Homo-oligomer: A and B are copies of this chain.
Amino acid sequence: MARTLFHTSLIYRTTTEHKRDVAEFCGNVELCRLTEQVVFSDPYKLSQYNRWTSPYLDQDAEAIRDDNTLKLEVAGLKSMFCERAQALIHGDLHTGSVMVTQDSTQVIDPEFAFYGPMGFDIGAFIGNLILAFYAQDGHANQANSRKKYKEWILKTIEETWVLFYKKFTALWDEHKNGHGEAYLPEIYNNPELQLLVQKKFMTDLLHDTLGFGAAKMIRRIVGVAHVEDFESIADAAKRAKCERQALEMAKLLVKERRKFQSISEVVMAIVMRNF
Contact = CB atoms under 8 A, between A and B. Distances in A.
Interface string A54-69: 0000000000010010
A166 interface: no
A31 to B, nearest CB: 11
Nearest to A67: B193
A41 interface: yes
A119 B81 CA distance: 19
A36 B15 CA distance: 9
Interface string A8-40: 001000011011101110110100110010000
Interface stretch (A70-78, A168-176, A209-217): A70-78
A192 interface: yes
A15 B78 CA distance: 11
A6 interface: no
Contact of A19 (B16, B19, B26): B26
Given A68-B196, A192-B68, A82 B18 contact: yes
Interface in A172-229: 181-184, 186-188, 190, 192-193, 196-197, 200
Given A20-B26, A187-B44, A181 B72 contact: no
A29 B16 contact: yes
Nearest to A195: B68
Given A16-B33, A19-B32, A68-B193, A41 B187 contact: yes
A46 interface: yes
A193 B182 CA distance: 36
A200 B36 CA distance: 21
A65 B184 CA distance: 13
Contact of A15 (B18, B82, B184, B193): B82
Nearest to A33: B15
Interface stretch (A83-91, A96-104, A120-128, A241-249): A83-91
Contact of A78 (B41, B82, B182, B196): B182
Given A68-B192, A72-B200, A82-B181, A22 B26 contact: yes
Given A23-B26, A75-B183, A83-B86, 9 more contacts: A19-B26, A26-B26, A36-B181, A68-B193, A68-B196, A72-B197, A83-B85, A84-B84, A84-B85
The 5 tightest CB contacts between A and B, nearest first, are A23-B26, A45-B186, A19-B26, A23-B23, A19-B29
